[in-house]
Each structure stands twice: as structure tokens, then as C-alpha cells.
């Protein structure tokens, strides 16, 4: 079995390469402040997926190993069943692996390409039997513990659904080199707290790279900001740079001129990297240093499903959704520093 050469970043690439204005019309990227204006300069993962055995590929952007057959688990099923299917695949050494598990929210989201839709997977991906619908993660929803997070592969949204509903299961294997989600507890299908051992839940496996302590420290660059030591990104201390709601184009402009320049509107994966999946209202690590934290934040990432929309982080819940760019509906949180 081969091993791919892995180039792991704590923030997976969005794969966005095109820019669109507030009405959804394609526009030149230079100077726009949009995701693709910056991400084109980031390290590219080529080839993104490498064969590491019969029916298996490794994602060189994360180190994770996925079955080529995205429908390997069969029909949609409740959350408990999805956890059990992944555990059974490990016990049966399916495709020669004994480390199958249901992916946590950060692992499953890492497959999403925001440059593609229907499905929202990287161009030229090797996967078969992909259904552009909801797929379970092993991460319980902190705002509603009888629900679990799931990812929709039509346009890249992530929300949570009741654990007794039927969704798809796409198991993962391999050592996760992504940051942990922050979840350190487990809940059953009714939302009751349970011991984590043997559940296969995110809170028990805690797959990924541990967070440094402290996670947030004053920025060493002379900026008035906060350095996230998980990602190397510097965030504005006040999470409301526009002092209220803005349209998407206003958000791009506000972020670009924040503190006289050198800041930008974060892409959707950078925004999601702040989330602590063990917390809600807001879904930020306990003791975080930020002020004026609100509910929903614009990202610089246009929706590939409909370019008149852009992706947004619903921070009280930790959800990834979309909003109409022309609406003055969301907040602005500038970022500076490295790109994935």
C-alpha cells in the first residue's frame, strides 16, 4: 500500500479560482478582496488525491484516507447506524483498513470544494457513487445534543439534523492532521450524556491535532489583533468591524481598509477554523478574547451553487450557510495572515 506525499495546512483550501460581484456577475479578481484573489497564491495540492491501495485514496491536503466508493455504506440511515457501520467496517478490515470511523465535522468538510457544485467536490476528484445530499458526521450539535452535524455535498453547506433521521455515511480512515473540533463529550441519539468509550463519536476519538495552550495570544506583528496559534491567522479583537450589518460588497471593503489596510475578509474555511464544536452561543472556545461577537459573519467565498450568494458562518451555532450578497444581513470580522 502506497503513502501519498501530504502537504497539510490547518485550514483546508477552498479551491475557489473565480470572482463574482454582488449581483453574481463574473469579475476580475485582482483588488477585489475576494477568496479567489488570495487563494490562487496559496500552496496548491496537485494532485489532490493519490491512490494508496485498491479502492482507496489519500487526500494530500489533509492526510485522510477515503474510500473511492462514496456510497460504500449503502442506503441513508440514522446517526447511530452510521457510527455502527463505520465501526463494523473497521472490525471487518474493509479495503484492508481497520481504522474506519465516521468523520468528524472538520474532516468531512475538508472534502468540500467551494469552486464546484452538484457535487461540491474538487474538480477531477476520483470518487464514485457520490450523492449530492446530507452526510452524517460523528460530531454532536452543541446547541441541540439530540442533533448531529451533517454536510450537504450539493453546495457545501453544513448544519445539524435530528439523529433519528436518515442521512448518508461516508467513512474515513487514517490519521487526521487537521485541528481537532474541540468536542470532548458524547451524547446519545436522545441527546443524553453518555460515556465516550467505544461510541465512535467525535468527543471520544478527538481525532486531529490538539490545540496549543493558550490558543489565542496577542498578535506579535504590531497589529491590534489576536493570533490564533492553531492556524497562524490574526483576527481583529472586535468582531464587528462595520459596527453593524453590511452587504457582502460592503464587508469586503470594510475588511480591506480596517486599521488602515493589511486586513481582508476571511474565506469560509478560515472562519470555520475558529469554531469550537463543544460550545454554542457562541461556538468559540471558552475564555476567547474577542469582543462584540455576533451571530452571522460574511466570508469572502462566493457560492459556486449561485454566485449571487456568498458563504457565511452562523457563529452562535457553528453552522456554515449562505446569504444573498445584496442583503445587509451579516457582520464583518477582518483577518490577516497566512492562507491555506
At 228-237, the pLDDT tens digits run 999 999 999 9
In angstroms, the CA 262 to CA 248 distance is 19
Residue 8 pLDDT grade (very low, low, confident, very high; cuts 50, 70, 90): confident
Count Cα neighbours of 187 within 13 Å in the Cβ-side half-sphere.
19
115's grid cell: 469552486
Q: What's 96's DSSP letter?
A: G
Mean pLDDT calculated for residue range 43-68? 89
pLDDT of residue 7: 66
The CATH architecture assigned to 212-336 reads Roll (3.10)
Tell me if 239 sits within 8 A of 331, measured CB to CB. yes
Is residue 93 predicted with pLDDT exceeding 60? yes
Phi-psi bin for 141: left (phi > 0), alpha (psi -120 to 50), beta?
A: beta
At 175-230, the pLDDT tens digits run 999 999 999 999 999 999 999 999 999 999 999 999 999 999 999 877 789 999 99
- Please, what is the average pLDDT of the chain? 95
11's grid cell: 485550514
Sign of CA dihedral 176, 121, 201, 77: negative
Q: List the alpha helices (DSSP H) in the chain.
A: 35-39, 79-91, 105-109, 202-205, 248-256, 268-272
pLDDT of residue 42: 47
In angstroms, the CA 85 to CA 81 distance is 6
Residue 5 pLDDT grade (very low, low, confident, very high; cuts 50, 70, 90): low
- Global pTM reads 0.95
Give the residue extent of every domain in the chain. 49-205, 212-336
Integer angstrom CA distances of residue 78 from 26, 118, 146 = 40, 23, 12
Is residue 41 predicted with pLDDT exceeding 50? no
Amino acid at each position: 500500500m502506497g503513502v501519498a506525499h501530504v502537504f497539510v495546512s490547518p485550514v483546508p483550501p477552498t479551491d475557489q479560482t473565480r470572482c463574482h460581484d454582488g449581483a453574481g456577475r463574473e469579475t476580475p479578481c485582482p483588488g477585489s478582496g475576494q477568496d479567489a484573489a488570495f487563494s490562487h497564491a496559496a500552496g496548491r495540492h496537485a494532485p489532490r488525491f493519490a491512490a494508496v491501495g485498491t479502492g482507496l485514496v489519500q487526500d494530500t491536503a489533509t492526510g485522510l484516507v477515503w474510500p473511492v466508493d462514496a456510497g460504500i455504506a449503502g442506503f441513508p440511515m440514522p446517526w447511530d447506524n452510521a457510527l455502527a457501520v463505520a465501526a463494523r467496517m473497521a472490525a471487518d478490515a474493509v479495503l484492508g483498513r481497520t481504522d474506519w470511523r465516521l468523520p468528524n465535522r472538520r474532516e468531512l468538510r475538508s472534502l468540500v470544494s467551494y469552486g464546484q457544485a452538484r457535487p461540491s467536490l474538487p474538480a477531477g476528484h476520483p470518487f464514485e457513487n457520490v450523492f449530492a445530499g446530507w452526510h452524517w458526521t460523528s460530531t454532536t450539535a452543541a446547541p441541540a445534543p439530540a442533533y448531529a452535524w451533517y454536510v450537504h455535498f450539493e453546495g457545501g453547506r453544513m448544519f445539524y439534523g435530528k439523529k433519528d433521521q436518515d442521512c448518508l455515511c461516508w467513512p474515513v480512515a487514517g490519521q487526521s492532521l487537521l485541528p481537532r473540533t474541540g468536542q470532548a463529550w458524547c451524547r446519545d441519539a436522545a441527546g443524553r450524556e453518555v460515556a465516550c468509550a467505544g461510541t465512535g463519536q467525535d468527543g471520544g476519538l478527538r481525532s486531529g491535532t490538539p490545540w496549543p495552550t493558550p490558543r489565542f495570544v496577542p498578535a506579535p506583528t504590531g497589529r491590534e489583533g489576536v493570533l490564533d496559534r492553531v492556524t497562524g491567522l490574526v483576527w481583529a479583537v472586535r468582531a464587528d468591524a462595520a459596527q453593524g450589518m453590511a452587504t457582502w460588497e460592503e464587508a469586503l471593503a470594510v475588511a480591506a481598509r480596517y486599521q488602515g489596510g493589511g486586513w481582508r475578509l476571511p474565506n469560509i474555511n478560515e472562519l470555520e477554523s475558529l469554531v469550537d464544536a463543544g460550545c454554542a452561543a457562541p461556538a468559540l472556545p471558552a475564555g476567547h478574547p474577542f469582543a462584540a461577537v455576533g451571530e452571522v459573519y460574511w466570508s469572502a467565498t462566493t457560492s459556486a451553487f449561485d454566485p449571487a450568494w456568498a458563504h457565511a458562518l452562523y457563529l452562535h451555532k457553528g453552522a456554515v450557510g449562505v446569504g444573498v450578497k445584496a442583503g445587509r444581513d451579516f457582520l464583518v470580522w477582518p483577518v490577516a495572515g497566512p492562507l491555506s
